[in-house]
Every structure is written in structure tokens, then in C-alpha cells.
């Protein structure tokens, strides 16, 4: 699962919880940020094998600290608890339901990974691995990613008041994410090394976070001034 994770970020943002979209973009990929960092440090292990599954080259054969069910629950709790101090530090508005929403957004990553991944997600430590393996079916997996993202963006546009120019930017951002997914799923390429792959994860995910930040600024400062 790749851009499908962002559907949750778009879907849960509301005028009530007022969580910045960029924070939700970090939350839904929080487990992958931990994973990419641990692979870079040599603590978690990854093999990149061409044709490993039809839709992905990633053989994540050891990622118990970022992607086991127990640790996914742990990190979701950590993120939920950390959200209030983060709000006072940055600073932005905090609402009561926001911490829970952040925790659920982090946990959604594991649930969506469960659909796509082959049986490489451990329940606990590196044991009892699960995964429904939709990545073995390239077109259905791709279709699910797109359907999820489109639904998430539709909810975001329906639940949040915003100027038209920002709506256009959100849709354009969605189209850009779809193009990235097309590239990832369908454009053949030579497998990179494990470290280069997770560096790419860091760079792309952070680029998306920056765009999410910028998108929510569009049309925000404009005021109607009487002559």
C-alpha cells in the first residue's frame, strides 16, 4: 500500500478536529518513517527483488519494531499522546478528539498494509506473520489505491470549508499522487539497494508532507477589504 494510506489523512480531517493535513500525512505513514529509519540503521531488514510480488519489489522479511501488530498499536498510542504537546509547541489548535484521531490514523497504516502485503506482518516480534497479499494482483491493488484516495479526497472536500482555489489545488495534488502511484506500479525499473529504497521513501513521503502543508495555506490569508 502506498498512496492509499493518504486517503485516511484526507478522510479524517474536519473543521472540528482542525488537525493540519500535513500532520495527518506524517501520521498515516508514521510506521513507514520508523521502518525506513530502522532499515537505514541496519536494525530492520529489507530485500528489494524484481518481481517479488506483481505490485511491489519489497521483501520486508524483518520489520518487527515498525510493522508488527503489537508495535503498531504501541506507536499509535505514542503518536496520540505526543499530539497535545506538539500542538502547544508548534502551536496550533488542539481539540479533545484530535489525539484519538491521530492514534487511529497511525494505526490505519497497519490495517491497509495488511490488505496489500504478502505474509510479512508479524503479530508480535517476528512471529505469526499475516498479510492478505493483494500486491500479488497488480491491477486490483492499483485500483484499490486509487479508489481509496479518491474517496478520501471527496470526504475532505465535503467536510472542510475552503476557497475554490484550494479545492483545485487539492484535486491537483490528488492527480499528482495518482501519477506517482502509476509510476510505482507500472513503470519497470531496476531494483535499488535496500538503503537507497528507504532513502527514497523518506524523500517522497516528506515531499508529500510539504505539499500537504502548502496546499492548506492556499487562499488562507486572503481577506475581503472594503475600499
Kindly list the residues in this chain that would bind Zn ion in the complex (CB under 5 A): 32, 113
- Whole-angstrom CA distances from 202 to 37, 106, 210 are 8, 17, 12
Q: Which helix (H) or strand (E) holds 130?
A: strand 127-130
CA distance 185 to 143: 11
CB of 49 to Zn ion, least distance (A): 17
Which residue, 32 or 194, has its beta carbon nearer to Zn ion? 32
Q: How far is the CB of 110 from Zn ion (least distance, A)?
A: 8
- 109 versus 166: smaller Cβ distance to Zn ion: 109
Query: CA angle at residue 42 from 38 to 46, to 5 degrees?
Result: 80
CB of residue 43 to Zn ion, shortest distance in Å: 16
- How far is the C-alpha of 194 from the C-alpha of 32, rounded, in Å? 14
CB closer to Zn ion, 30 vs 142: 30
Cβ 35 to Zn ion shortest distance, Å:
6
Q: Which is nearer to Zn ion, 71 or 99 (CB)?
A: 71
Minimum distance between the CB of residue 67 and Zn ion, rounded to whole angstroms? 6
List the grid coordinates of 139: 491491477
If the CB atoms of residues 103 and 169 are measured against Zn ion, the closer one turns out to be 103
CA angle 137, 139, 141 (to 5 degrees): 65
| Alpha helix ranges (H) inside the chain | 5-12, 21-28, 30-40, 64-67, 69-89, 96-116, 138-159, 164-186, 194-215
Amino acid at each position: 500500500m502506498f498512496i492509499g494510506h493518504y486517503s485516511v489523512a484526507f478522510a479524517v480531517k474536519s473543521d472540528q478536529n482542525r488537525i493540519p493535513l500535513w500532520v495527518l500525512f506524517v501520521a498515516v505513514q508514521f510506521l513507514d518513517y520508523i521502518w525506513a529509519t530502522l532499515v537505514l540503521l541496519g536494525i530492520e531488514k529489507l530485500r528489494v527483488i524484481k518481481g517479488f510480488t506483481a505490485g511491489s519489489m519489497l521483501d520486508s522479511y524483518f520489520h518487527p519494531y515498525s510493522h508488527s501488530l503489537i508495535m503498531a498499536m504501541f506507536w499509535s498510542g505514542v503518536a496520540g499522546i505526543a499530539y497535545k504537546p506538539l500542538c502547544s509547541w508548534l502551536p496550533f489548535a488542539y481539540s479533545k478528539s484530535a489525539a484519538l484521531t491521530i492514534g487511529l490514523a497511525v494505526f490505519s497504516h497497519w490495517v491497509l498494509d495488511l490488505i496489500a502485503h504478502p505474509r510479512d506482518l508479524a503479530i508480535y516480534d517476528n512471529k505469526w506473520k499475516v498479510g492478505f497479499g493483494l500486491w500479488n494482483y497488480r491491477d486490483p491493488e492499483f485500483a484499490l489505491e486509487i479508489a481509496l484516495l479518491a474517496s478520501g479526497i471527496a470526504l475532505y472536500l465535503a467536510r472542510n470549508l475552503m476557497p475554490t482555489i484550494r479545492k483545485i489545488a487539492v484535486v491537483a495534488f490528488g492527480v499528482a499522487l495518482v501519477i506517482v502511484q502509476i509510476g510505482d506500479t507500472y513503470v519497470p525499473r531496476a531494483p535499488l539497494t535496500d538503503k537507497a529504497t528507504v532513502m527514497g521513501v523518506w524523500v517522497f513521503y516528506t515531499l508529500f508532507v510539504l505539499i500537504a502543508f502548502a496546499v492548506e495555506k492556499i487562499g488562507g490569508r486572503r481577506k475581503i477589504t472594503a475600499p
